[in-house]
């Protein structure tokens, strides 16, 4: 029996757990827990350690499926899996959510985090949620990746559809395993499909989740005490910060970022600015061309966690 391994990674809600469930012949081993951060805008459960499944390709070949948690605060699990569980994996499959405001920001982040792992094996980028948002399209991904110095395979898949996810497997091992009955494999996996029926329960659940506001999602992270969301003209779109001084400080910090970029153009764009002290709440701003986000957080909350939450909030906010 030839055993292959593949590691799935990517941002929260990119479809890692769903893709593994679509392919697995066994009931997947997962570590789902109730969402306790900004991902509440997209889902109610999230992976906090790892996912695992197995796909029998033929009588002589088997594929082991591993999935990482998406949040950077679980980075210790990425390192554990790379050094131990999947050190001999065939490939890294990077799932990219096409509904994020800047999918390439996610690609750059995960490619950098898994750079040493990728050097020794195959990288496949699998774009999900294209049924919800068609752009960027395949050609755009290929051009942008080329400009980034990445020459790799890009597949558009629906993680809920086993036949769609199976294209990743075919790309990985199809040239090495000539006796796989792909049609039979696809039919066998049809029972794993979680494609929603029109007007069904899955659509209703998704609708409920999407009704969560940006501010409510921000406050779903323990330690974040307030948030302010500004538009392209730096007008306040929404805010739940009652402390007038903090609110004005955050707006001033956002304006300061613009001023600093003009004074120190050689530094390039400034994505975030953090003001912290030993006694008071930490104030953080995250600035993009079309929007900006300010967060108040308890001083005990890690800055890395605050940055991860801000990134996800902005990535899911048009």
pLDDT (tens digit per residue) in 139-184:
999 999 999 999 999 999 999 999 999 999 999 998 898 899 999 9
Q: What confidence category does residue 298 fall into, taking pLDDT thresholds of 50, 70 and 90? A: very high
pLDDT at 312: 86
What is the rounded average pLDDT of the residues 32-52? 61
170 plus 310 within the same structural domain:
no
Is the domain of 179 the same as that of 90? yes
Integer Cα distance of 82 and 94 in angstroms: 14
The structure's pTM equals 0.77
Integer Cα distance of 122 and 172 in angstroms: 8
The separation between the first and the last C-alpha atoms of the chain, rounded to the nearest angstrom, is 49
**pLDDT band of 34, cuts 50, 70, 90:** low
Same domain, 170 and 32: yes
Residue 286 sits in which domain range? 214-315
User: DSSP assignment, residue 39?
Assistant: G
d(CA 53, CA 57): 13
Residue at a domain's end among 170, 189, 210: 210
Same domain, 51 and 146: yes
Tally of residues, the chain: 318
pLDDT for res 272 = 92
| pLDDT higher than threshold 90 for residue 308 | no
Same domain, 51 and 135: yes
pLDDT tens per residue across span 57-75: 999 999 999 999 877 767 7
Q: What is the pLDDT confidence band of residue 45, given thresholds at 50, 70 and 90?
A: low
Question: 125 and 221 share a domain?
Answer: no
Q: What is the pLDDT of residue 207?
A: 45
Q: Tens of pLDDT along 204-239?
A: 444 445 578 889 888 888 899 999 999 999 999 999
Residue 71 is part of a domain; what is its CATH number? 3.40.50.300
Token digits of residue 306: 């605050």
């Amino acid at each position: 029996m030839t055993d292959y391994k593949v590691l799935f990674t990517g941002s929260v809600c990119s479809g890692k757990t769903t893709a593994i469930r679509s392919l697995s012949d066994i009931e997947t081993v997962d570590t789902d827990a109730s969402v306790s951060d900004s991902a509440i805008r997209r889902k109610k459960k999230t992976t906090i350690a790892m996912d695992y499944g197995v796909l029998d390709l033929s009588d002589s070949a088997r594929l082991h499926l591993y999935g990482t948690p998406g949040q950077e605060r679980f980075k210790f699990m990425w390192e554990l899996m790379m050094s131990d569980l999947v050190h001999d994996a065939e490939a890294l499959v990077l799932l990219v959510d096409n509904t994020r405001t800047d999918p390439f920001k996610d690609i750059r982040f995960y490619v950098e985090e898994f750079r040493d792992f990728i050097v020794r094996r195959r990288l496949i980028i699998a774009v999900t949620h294209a049924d919800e948002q068609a752009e960027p399209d395949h050609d755009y991904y290929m051009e942008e990746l080329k400009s980034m110095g990445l020459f790799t395979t890009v597949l558009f898949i629906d993680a809920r559809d086993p036949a769609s996810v199976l294209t990743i497997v075919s790309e990985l091992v199809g040239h090495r395993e000539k006796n796989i009955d792909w049609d039979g494999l696809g039919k066998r996996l049809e029972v794993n499909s979680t494609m929603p029926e029109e007007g069904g329960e899955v659509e209703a659940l998704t609708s409920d989740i999407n009704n969560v506001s940006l501010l409510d999602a921000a406050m779903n992270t323990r330690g974040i005490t307030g948030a302010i969301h500004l538009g392209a003209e730096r007008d306040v779109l929404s805010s739940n910060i009652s402390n007038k001084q903090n609110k004005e400080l955050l707006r001033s910090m956002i304006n300061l970022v613009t001023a600093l970029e003009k004074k120190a153009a050689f530094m390039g764009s400034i994505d975030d600015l953090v003001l912290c002290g030993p006694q008071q709440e930490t104030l953080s701003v995250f600035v993009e061309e079309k929007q900006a986000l300010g967060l108040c957080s308890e001083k005990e909350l890690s800055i890395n966690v605050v940055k991860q939450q801000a990134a996800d909030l902005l990535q899911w906010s048009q």
